[in-house]
Chain A
Amino acid sequence: MNKATLIALKTLTWIACLYPLGVLIYGAVSDPVNGLGPDPTGRIEFSTGLAALHLLVISLAITPLRKLSPRLSFLIKFRRLLGLFAFFYASIHLIAYIGLYAGFDTNTILQDVAKRRFITVGVLAWLLLVPLALTSTTGAMKRLGGKRWNQLHKLVYVAVCLGILHYWWQVKAGVTTPLGITLAMAALFVARPVLDWWKAKKAARLRTA
């Protein structure tokens, strides 16, 4: 892939990643009263949480996609960007909770984290993302060494699962909106072993031929 194409694709990725935030800012600025709909607090919380989950799942789709064809190997150049944007949205989501739901009240926050399981797992998911964001630089990767860095970054799977659990535990009984992202994540979990098996079979066939 040439440099111009890569820059163009990265620009598009930035635009796509900033889109959910752009919609919120546009709504809040264009019409301070109703620009974000009847319940702006709920809207901000929902759209940032959903953006974080979507970006995490997309970032986790990159490795399976690369296994499909060597021509897709360039996708690795986008993974850090997607992961960091996911952390960015998860952080806005957390700050919005602290400010708009808990009113910056430490007691309320502590009680919520202790008593409400959806908040407990949500905060836990965010905490797991922190070391991943901090070690996302090339320097940190070198200092840790590829193997240890890889092991550490396996935590992202735990974080996504907690994030999805947080979504299920937040909605009412009977509501199935988190189903889509759950199935997408399940497909990714299945994709890895299936793709490995498929590659091994292809390699074996090449050897015997």
Chain B
Amino acid sequence: MLIRKPDPISGSNIPSSEITPKDKWMNRRNFIAAAAATGAAALGVERVGEILAPSRAVHAETKLQTVKSPITTTGEELTSFQDITHYNNFYEFGENKSDPAQNAGVLPTRPWTVKISGLVKTPKTFDIDALLKLRPLEDRTYRFRCVEGWSMVVPWVGYSLSELIKQCDPLSSAKYVHFLSYYNGKVEKWAPFGYNWPYSEGLRMDEAMNPLTLLTMGLYGEELPKQDGAPVRIIVPWKYGFKSAKSIVEIKVVEKQPHTTWNDAASNEYGFYSNVNPNVDHPRWSQKTERVIGKPFYAQRRPTLMFNGYGDFVASLYNGMDLRKYY
């Protein structure tokens, strides 16, 4: 259903000139759907309905009450809602970028709980509706840089993960935070073999408690679409995208560095830290530049920034560390 809202990202301090009005990107979605239907009809392609409404079920489009954020990235052109929801890496729903938009509809996001356990004084389990009300939801725009060499600018909604972790009083022995994503092989039947499911990620305690690390429940002022990690995920904007685990069901506060899914799959390519760093190449490509999603092919390339441009907030976390060794 198309609900026109006068101000989709109200409260954000992004200059209004840089926001694509919602009716415009919604219109483009209609236009694309109509064009796809025409093309499909001309080609005699089946499943026209699916092309017409590729992910209607996936977009819950529930508006969230949000407030201005003291920390949000300005001066960047936002990636369209269409691209943020149709160019996804979410291997549990298939390996192609377009698969999650097609398949993630089956993810059961209500009821949903997040269990916080491990080295905390008071282990707790939060219902998603309680999480949505725990703190005011902030509009926070961040650059998003994938290890594969592409990037987006995404208006997320959420609050700092530290707010949630503080609720459980972590013990002084706590050194790392371990995130586990939802996994049910019967639901996520596209999950390829050869990976360590459920998806597992981790941060050092000080990284997890950094105010930039966002407990994310929304996108473009609405509840998170399933293909983007509904109902709750983290966003760690100074690290490559795979560090930002989706559809989280459990957060364990631990003493030892947790194993992480991509590190298990190829440790020489995906380190535990995986800070965005133009000076440390991926074995298969340079990380000096990136391709901005949604730009024409001749204008996609741009330089990658150290810590994805968030060095002022996070560089001090890594003082004295050799970031080539701890990639």
Which residues on A are within 8 Å of B, measured CB to CB? 28, 32-34, 36-42, 44, 100, 103, 108, 111-112, 115-116, 118, 169-170, 172-177
Contact = CB atoms under 8 A, between A and B. Distances in A.
Given A38-B83, A39-B87, A175 B95 contact: yes
Interface residues of B, number: 33
Contacts of B296: 28, 32-33, 40
Contacts of A42: 150, 291
Contacts of A34: 28, 32, 80, 82-83, 294
A108 B300 contact: no
Interface of B: 28, 32, 80, 82-83, 86-87, 95, 97, 150, 192-195, 265-266, 269, 281, 283-286, 288-289, 291, 293-298, 300-301
A166 to B, nearest CB: 11
A116 B32 CA distance: 38
Nearest to B147: A172
Contacts, number: 72
Given A41-B291, A42-B150, A169-B284, 6 more contacts: A28-B297, A38-B87, A40-B295, A40-B296, A173-B265, A174-B193
Nearest to B291: A41
Contact of A100 (B286, B294, B297): B297
Given A34-B294, A40-B296, A174 B150 contact: no
A103 B284 contact: no
A121 to B, nearest CB: 12
A112 B194 CA distance: 29
Given A103-B301, A173-B265, A39 B293 contact: yes
A42 B83 CA distance: 14
B128 to A, nearest CB: 28
**Interface pairs A-B: 10 shortest CB-CB:** A40-B297, A38-B87, A173-B266, A38-B83, A174-B194, A38-B293, A41-B300, A41-B291, A32-B296, A41-B297
A20 to B, nearest CB: 15
A199 to B, nearest CB: 41
A94 to B, nearest CB: 16
Given A28-B297, A40-B300, A103-B289, A170 B269 contact: no
A198 B135 CA distance: 76
A116 B97 contact: no
Contacts of B294: 33-34, 38
A138 to B, nearest CB: 38
A148 B298 CA distance: 43
A37 B193 CA distance: 28
Contacts of A108: 286, 288
